[in-house]
Amino acid sequence: MEGGMHAWQGLTAAGAPDAGMSFFTVGSRPEELIALAWTLEEGSRKFYASIAGTLADNEAAKLFTDLASAEGHHKSTLLGLYRDIAKVEPGPDFPASVIAADEDRMEGGVKVSEALVWAKGRDDRGLLEMSMALETDSYDLYIKMGRRVKGENAKEVFGRLVVEEKAHLGRMAAQLDKQL
């Protein structure tokens, strides 16, 4: 690519190659990656649901409510994949039964509690920009997870999550444009 990274003005993720996975003891088993993704989706859902009520702009508030709902759908998709691959029903102790999960983490590997403290008093634009950074890291992570998992079904599910995270980014970018 001409000009290398200095010339790039598109989406940019941050962190080491295994960022997002390094907060957990995660191997290459699809069950572990699914449990990790589920944990991060739940963290993001909690974050988006919390800040939706704090936004001044109704459209932005609706966007974050929709995003919280979408993360909930992702969790269901991941549970379906878990059932398919592990051949067992995820119990009430899921995902702790699969990985040593930190329930306070969300997409981007950020702590939900810290993100909520940071978000207090921020304007809509600041929240949108921060959330876009999180979704970009999540998009990056799911591409890498899709590469790591074995099996066509698992790859297809992570591929679908990649497409959906990218769609979220598109909606956030459109909303941010309105704020500028």
Q: Return the residue of 96, 163, 167, 173 that touches another protein, per CB under 8 A.
A: 163
63: its two tokens? 């966007």
Q: Which of 55/81 has CB closer to another protein?
A: 81
For residue 17, is the peptide bond before it cis, meaning its omega torsion is within 30 degrees of 0? no
98: its two tokens? 């699969």
Angle at 79 between CA 75 and CA 80, to 5 degrees: 120
Q: Which of 13/61 has CB closer to another protein?
A: 13
Q: Is residue 111 helix, strand or coil?
A: strand
Find the part of the chain contacting another protein (CB under 8 A) among 1-9, 30-38, 69-77, 106-114.
Answer: 1-9
In whole angstroms, give the CA distance from residue 160 to residue 176.
24
Binders of another protein among 114-143, rule CB under 8 A? 136-137, 139-140, 143
Residues contributing to the site for another protein (CB under 8 A): 1-5, 7-17, 19, 136-137, 139-140, 143-144, 146-147, 155, 159, 162-163
